[in-house]
Amino acid sequence: DVVIAGADFTTFGVHRLDWLPTETIYSYAGSNNGQAITSTTTVTKNVPNTPSEFVLNVWSNGDQGFSKGPPTADSIATVQYVHLYFNSTTFNVSSFNAACASAGHIAPCNV
């Protein structure tokens, strides 16, 4: 579990996820009552080793200890923007751009 102490999730903040072969790094930058909050957590256990979906969701399973449920109102998430970047070596960039072009899409940028 990744916990961001002091974060105010009723305001916008920047969440970052760096997925690497041996670790996943979660970073957060935001504020709480005008006070800057930053947090970085590195997870090295149960790191996925194959690509998967990127999903944004809000939920509660009703568990008093985990999600502080049951919910008293509908859960609502407002997402200001999502930026997804492909980071890799030159060889992988070439493979990515070739796959993108073969799918009928123009490479979005020169990485």
Above 60 in pLDDT, residue 30?
yes
Overall pTM > 0.85:
no
- Domain ranges within the chain, ordered by starting residue: 14-80
Under the banding of pLDDT at 50, 70 and 90, the label for residue 44 is very high
Give DSSP secondary structure letters for 18-56: EE-SS-EEEEEEEEETTEEEEEEEEE-SS---S------
Q: Given this model, what pLDDT does residue 43 score?
A: 92
Query: What confidence score (pLDDT) does residue 68 get?
Result: 73
Give the least confident one: 22-26, 38-42, 82-86, 98-102.
98-102
Residues 8-25: what's their mean pLDDT?
86
